[in-house]
Amino acid sequence: MPGIFVTGTDTGIGKTLVSTALLHGMKVLGLRAAGMKPVAAGADLIDGAWVNEDVAELTRAATVAAPPDWVNPYLFRDAIAPHIAAERKGVRIEIPRIVEAYEQLAGLADWVVVEGAGGFRVPLDGRRDSADLAVALGLPVLMVVGLRLGCINHALLTAEAIAARGLRLAGWVANRVDPDMAVYEENLASLENRLPAPCLAVIPWLEDGRPERAARLLPPVRLKQWLDSL
């Protein structure tokens, strides 16, 4: 069941932007693509329903329709760490439930893009974290590196954590989240030299953050070659 687990070096570094860009690229290739956000924290009340913007963007970018509970099994209103949000709500985040939802999505689509919450080791409860979820899904990992001060250390530590769990870092995307980052080119070169996976795309500072613009930085031929290698 082809899928990709999208993680990041931190929160707020463009995982949703990259995930939706992948879905747009898959649409260009004529693929049936579904987006998934297993755990989302932070929601607004819109037309009587609680909506997480990341989940909404993934749903809009997908090329197949799916039940909301498959796309987003766990939604919490407060924009706080998932394990704290779950504890406050009296809910336990169950990994088997997420895996089951993923399998249902995989039955509808050629590819499922699964966006993790926060960074790779974000806790889900007092014992398990997002890395345990990634292991349970067993998917190749795409890492989003937020280009700002400290990104090299964060990226290398995340890559080591992915390898330590026996998962494959299939690629990474550099996303410039700080338009004023000093020695940007030198930092990017250091990442390219040190990370043990190909750089799929480099996203410049996008003031509007539109995934369609980010998708143009990933040519269809290149995306297809990468997908075929997974």
3-state SS, residue 164: helix
Decide if 37 is catalytic: yes
Of 85, 86, 71, 97, the closest CA to residue 19 belongs to 71
Four-point Cα dihedral 187, 174, 119, 179, nearest 10: 70
Strands, DSSP E only, in the chain?
A: 3-8, 33-36, 39-41, 44-46, 49-51, 74-76, 111-115, 141-147, 169-176, 199-203
For residue 82, what are its two tokens? 């998932």
- The one catalytic residue in 27, 37, 89, 224 is 37
Alpha carbon separation from 161 to 9, 153, 155, 215 (Å, rounded):
11, 12, 10, 27
3-state SS, residue 29: coil
- What amino acid positions are annotated as catalytic residues? 37
